[in-house]
Amino acid sequence: MASNDLLLKGIAAAKGGDKERARALLSKVVLEMPESEEAWWWLAQSVDDPRQREFCAQKILEINPHHRGAKELLQGTTESSQQSTSRAAIAPKKPAAQTSASARKRPQSPPKKKTARPRSARTSRQTVILVLLAFAVFLVFIGGAGYVFLDTTGYLGQVLNIASPDVSPTTPTLPNTATATTEGVSLSSIPTWTPTPSLTPLPATPSPTTTHTPMPIGSPTPIPPTPSEFPLISAAQPVTLNDGTGFLTLFPDSFSVFRFEPRESLDIQSVATLTFHLLNSEFTQPLTVELYLWNLTNNTWEPFGVHWGDNPILTPELYVDKDGVIIAALRNWGVDPIDVDNTSFTFAARLANGLDVYYGLDSASSRLPQTPEPTATKSFG
């Protein structure tokens, strides 16, 4: 059911021209529903890389060999690549008749007598050639060593946007960023593939790029599995927004649901920013924690990948009500318990009376909007 909702959202985003959001949603759908012809088609309309578009077209033809749109898409991609490689300019050759005629008009010059070059000149030229050859061999060696090093560390695949063919489902490595994901979907990273030169059978499900190097501290949450069921908001525990949850233990494959309430009475008109705080003195890696926020508009849970420290949340007005209440759930999808020192939120908002507030964990500051004072008018006479 969750995949169907993401499919509808992804199609709507693709039709609306929001390719970034469409790629974020549809990439998760094709991972969970690899036989969805509709998901592969709209993902092909959302990607910009011709190789990814070709791969999507091949997947559609595996599912439906008579799909006319996929055939045209694949044919257009192949023709564009062939045209880009065949645009070499060929200099026009002079006709043989003109060449022979010009040769007849030219006066025959007496043959020049060959003079023997000094031995020292030949030796110097040979030395220069040997030096250039040695330098070329050195450059080839350095380039090969650099290629092997980059390919071994996995950095070459990230630069070329090509996934490794041999992957395993354990501990994927993601970029070291701390920004919130688009539309709150933690599976927003689009998988990249290595397309085949012909329409040969491909694996049923594309696999994301994976390495076995340890994740650095501060990295975002790896791609988690979809939960079998979601918690009820009626089971949320009330927590003071200024104090946070305090110390808690997140047990494997379970949700901890909280209702974060402000200490004072607020009447919020609009919310500008929202930040989630996940605090701990000892970082645990890899961090298998996922944040779920209750969307007040759609009345649904939306997942977010988080890291230790401060996590900005996009579109905060969807999750903070006019009283400043936030309903959130923490899920540990790993196999080991995780201890957390404290969790809470901080937001910047404007109240109905025009007061700007910065409210949340260990902070409650406010300021009135600055208005210019009237300028005194000088009197004459």
Q: Give the strands of the sheet with 309-312, arranged side by side.
A: 309-312, 268-279, 342-351, 356-360, 363-367
Domain that holds residue 306: 233-367
- Specify the pLDDT at position 213: 39
Residues 207 and 264 in one domain: no
Please tell me whether residues 185 and 330 are part of one structural domain: no
CA distance 78 to 50: 9
Same domain, residue pair 181 and 271: no
Distances (CA, A) of 303 to 2, 95, 180, 294, 336: 12, 72, 11, 9, 20
220 occurs within a structural domain: no
Same domain, 204 and 328: no
The pLDDT score that the predictor gives to residue 267 is 93
Q: Classify residue 226: in a domain, yes or no.
A: no
265 lies in the same domain as 199: no
205 and 246 both lie in a single domain: no
239 and 362 housed in the same domain = yes
Residues 212 and 222 sit within 8 Å (Cβ to Cβ)? no
My answer on whether 5 and 59 are in the same domain is yes
Q: What is the CATH number of the domain that holds 330?
A: 2.60.120
What are the residue ranges in the chain where pLDDT is below 50?
Answer: 88-105, 107, 162-221, 381
Backbone dihedral region for residue 5 (phi beyond 0: left; psi -120 to 50: alpha; all else: beta)? alpha
Domain termination site, one of 152, 183, 213: 213
197 and 307 assigned to the same domain: no
Q: Which residues of 298-332 are buried (b: 16+ CB within 10 A; e: fewer)?
A: eeebbbbbbbbeebebeebebbbeeebbbbbbbbb
Q: Is 15 part of any domain?
A: yes
Q: Which residue in 50, 59, 46, 57 sits closest to 20, CA to CA?
A: 46
pLDDT recorded at residue 32: 86
Number of structural domains (the chain) is 2
Q: Is residue 130 part of a domain?
A: no
Do 178 and 272 belong together in one domain? Answer: no
Q: Does some domain include residue 325?
A: yes
Q: pLDDT value at position 379?
A: 53
106 located within any domain = no
CATH number of the CATH domain containing 30: 1.25.40.10
Same domain? For 183 and 288 the reply is no
Q: Is residue 313 part of a domain?
A: yes
